[in-house]
Amino acid sequence: MRPGVEPFTTRTPRVVAARRLQRRRERTETGRFLAEGPQAVREALADGAVVELFATAAAAERYAELIAAAEADGARVSPVTDDALAALAETVQPQGVVAVCSFVDVPLAQALAKQPRLVAVLADIRDPGNAGTVLRTADAAGADAVVFAGSAVDPYNGKCVRASAGSLFHVDVVRADDPLAVVERIRAAGLTVYAADAYGAADLDHVPLAGPTAWLFGSEAHGLPPQLADAADARVRVPIHGRAESLNLAAAAAVCLYSCARAQRMEGTSR
Amino acid sequence: MRPGVEPFTTRTPRVVAARRLQRRRERTETGRFLAEGPQAVREALADGAVVELFATAAAAERYAELIAAAEADGARVSPVTDDALAALAETVQPQGVVAVCSFVDVPLAQALAKQPRLVAVLADIRDPGNAGTVLRTADAAGADAVVFAGSAVDPYNGKCVRASAGSLFHVDVVRADDPLAVVERIRAAGLTVYAADAYGAADLDHVPLAGPTAWLFGSEAHGLPPQLADAADARVRVPIHGRAESLNLAAAAAVCLYSCARAQRMEGTSR
For A166, name the nearest residue in chain B, comparing CA atoms only. B244
**What is the rounded average pLDDT of the residues A88-93?**
87
Q: What is the mean pLDDT of residues B189-205?
A: 96
Could you report the predicted ipTM of this complex, rounded to two decimals? 0.92
Percent pLDDT > 90 in chain B is: 91
| Selection from B64, B22, B72 nearest residue B48 by Cα | B72
Nearest chain B residue to A256 by CA: give it.
B255
A136 contact B CB<8A: yes
pLDDT of residue B210: 97
Which of B42, B209, B258 to probe by mutation at the A interface, max A CB count within 10 Å? Answer: B258
Q: Are strands A213-217 and A118-123 parallel, antiparallel or unpaired?
A: parallel
User: Does the pLDDT value for residue A270 go beyond 50?
Assistant: no
Cβ contacts of A252 on chain B, cutoff 8 Å = 254
What's the pLDDT score for residue B270? Answer: 42
C-alpha neighbours within 13 Å on the C-beta side of residue A126: 7
Considering just the CA atoms, what is the radius of gyration of chain A in Å? 20
**Which residues of chain A make contact with B265, given a CB cutoff of 8 A?**
205, 241
Contact yes or no for A245 and B271 at CB 8 A? no
* pLDDT tens digits along A3-13: 567 999 999 99
- Cα A188 from Cα A73, distance rounded (Å): 38
Please check whether residue B245 is in contact with residue B149, taking contact to mean a CB–CB distance below 8 angstroms.
no
Q: Please give the pLDDT value at position A204.
A: 97
B248/A143 CB distance under 8 A: no
- Distance, C-alpha A163 to centroid of its chain: 8
Answer yes or no: do B137 and A247 touch at CB < 8 A.
Answer: yes
Nearest residue of A to residue B143, measured between CA atoms: A242
Contact B140 A242 (CB under 8 A): yes
Interchain CB distance below 8 Å, A251 and B205? no
Half-sphere exposure of B139 (CA within 13 A, CB side): 23
In this prediction, residues A28-43 reach a mean pLDDT of: 96
Name every chain B residue with its beta carbon within 8 A of the beta carbon of A142. Answer: 241-242
Using an 8 Å CB-CB cutoff, list chain B residues near A136: 244, 247-248, 251
Contacts of A254 in chain B (CB under 8 A): 247, 250-252, 254-255
Q: Stretch A98-109: mean pLDDT, rounded?
A: 98
Q: Is the pLDDT of residue B118 over 90?
A: yes
Interface check for B255 against chain A (CB to CB < 8 A): the answer is yes
Phi and psi at residue B237, in whole multiples of 5°? -110, 145
Task: Please give the single-letter amino acid code of residue B138.
Answer: A
pLDDT at A22 over 60: yes
Question: How large is the average pLDDT for residues A44-59?
Answer: 96
B165 has a chain A CB within 8 A of its CB = yes
Average pLDDT over residues A20-48: 96
Query: Helices (DSSP H) in chain B: which residue ranges?
Result: 13-19, 24-30, 38-46, 57-62, 64-72, 82-88, 108-113, 128-140, 158-164, 179-188, 226-231, 249-266
- Is B268 a residue whose pLDDT tops 60? no
Position A1 scores a pLDDT of 52
For the cut 90, the answer to whether the pLDDT of residue A250 exceeds it is: yes
Residue B168 has pLDDT above 60, yes or no: yes
**d(CA B93, nearest CA chain A) in Å:** 14
Contacting residues of B for A243, CB less than 8 Å apart? 139, 166-167, 170-171
Q: Do A250 and B247 touch (CB under 8 A)?
A: no
Nearest CA in chain B to A252: B254
Residues of A in contact with B240 (CB under 8 A): 140
Say what the pLDDT of residue B92 is.
Answer: 79
Mean pLDDT (chain B) is: 94
**What's the mean per-residue pLDDT of chain A?**
94
Instruction: Tell me the percentage of chain B whose pLDDT exceeds 70.
Output: 97
Tell me which of B142 and B124 has the higher pLDDT: B142
| Nearest partner of A252 among B133, B146, B158, judged by Cα | B133
Q: Shortest CB distance from A251 goes to which of B242, B246, B250? A: B250
- Nearest residue, CB atoms, B136 vs list A248, A265, A271: A248
The span from the CA of A214 to the CA of A133, in Å, is 17
Q: Which residue of A has its CA nearest to B135?
A: A244
User: Would you state the pLDDT for residue B40?
Assistant: 94
Residue by residue, DSSP assigns chain A as --TTPPPB-TTSHHHHHHHGGGSHHHHHHHTEEEEESHHHHHHHHHTT-EEEEEE-HHHHHHTHHHHHHHHHTT-EEEEB-HHHHHHH-SSS--TTEEEEEE-----HHHHHHT--SEEEEEES---HHHHHHHHHHHHHTT-SEEEEETTPPPTTSHHHHHHHTTGGGTSEEEEES-HHHHHHHHHHTT-EEEEE-TT-SEEGGGS--SS-EEEEE-BTTTBS-HHHHHHSSEEEE----SS-S---HHHHHHHHHHHHHHHHHHTT---
Whether A170 and B250 lie within 8 Å, measured CB to CB: no
Candidates A136, A242, A251; nearest CB to B244: A136
Residue A85 has pLDDT above 80, yes or no: yes
Cβ neighbours of A188 (radius 10 Å): 9
Q: What pLDDT does residue A198 have?
A: 92
For residue B209, the distance in angstroms to the closest alpha carbon of chain A comes to 12
- What confidence score (pLDDT) does residue B271 get? 39
Cβ contact A242:B170 at 8 Å: yes
Tell me whether residues A139 and B242 touch, CB distance under 8 A: yes
Please indicate whether, in this complex, the C-beta atoms of B251 and A253 are within 8 angstroms of each other.
yes
- Contacting residues of A for B209, CB less than 8 Å apart: none
Would the CA dihedral through A119, A125, A129, A130 be positive or negative? negative
For A143-201, the pLDDT digits (tens) are 999 999 998 899 999 999 999 999 999 999 999 999 999 999 999 999 999 999 999 99
Q: Is A267 on the interface with B (CB under 8 A)?
A: no
Ordered by where they begin, the domains of chain B are 13-102 (3.30.1330.30), 108-266 (3.40.1280.10)
Q: What angle do CA B148, B154, B155 make, to 5 degrees?
A: 65
